[in-house]
Amino acid sequence: MIEFLMHVEKDTVGVAVVDIKAGTQVSGRTLHGNAKPKLKALVDIPLGHKIAMQDFKPGDTVIKYGEDIGKVVAPIKKGDHVHVHNVKTKRW
């Protein structure tokens, strides 16, 4: 079963296509490319929200759809929920 999608292989987050429960081993795939990543969800990830594909530190850039979508403002572990509490836009 696929629980998350990445647009391209260089994406650093995946998007949940189902509600993901903490502690679950989840599988994903890319829409473009052949990546089939697997990881353990550290927290609940709601449908449509992002899951971290790697560890991040404040100041790092988040890549989704192959594009820069913001900067990390709080540490994020691989498998964590990536959302407004730990990522902000670079526009302002």
- DSSP 3-state of 63: strand
pLDDT score, position 92: 74
What distance in Å separates the CA atoms of residue 17 and residue 49, rounded to the nearest whole number? 8
Per-residue model confidence as pLDDT tens digits over 16-61: 999 999 999 999 999 988 889 999 999 999 999 999 999 999 999 9
Q: What is the pLDDT of residue 91?
A: 84
> What's the average model confidence in pLDDT over 78-82?
98
Q: Is the pLDDT of residue 6 over 90?
A: yes
Are the C-beta atoms of residues 29 and 35 closer than 8 Å to each other?
yes
- Average pLDDT of the residues in 59-75: 97
Inter-residue long-range contacts of 33-40, CB under 8 Å, 24+ positions, other chains counted: 33/8, 33/9, 34/9, 35/6, 35/9, 37/6, 39/78, 39/79, 40/79
Res 20: pLDDT = 98
| Residues near 18 by beta carbon (within 8 Å), at least 6 away in sequence | 3, 47
Please give the domain boundaries of the chain with CATH numbers for all domains.
Answer: 4-88 (2.30.130.110)
> Could you tell me what percent of the chain has a pLDDT over 70?
100
Q: What average pLDDT does this structure show over 70-86?
A: 97
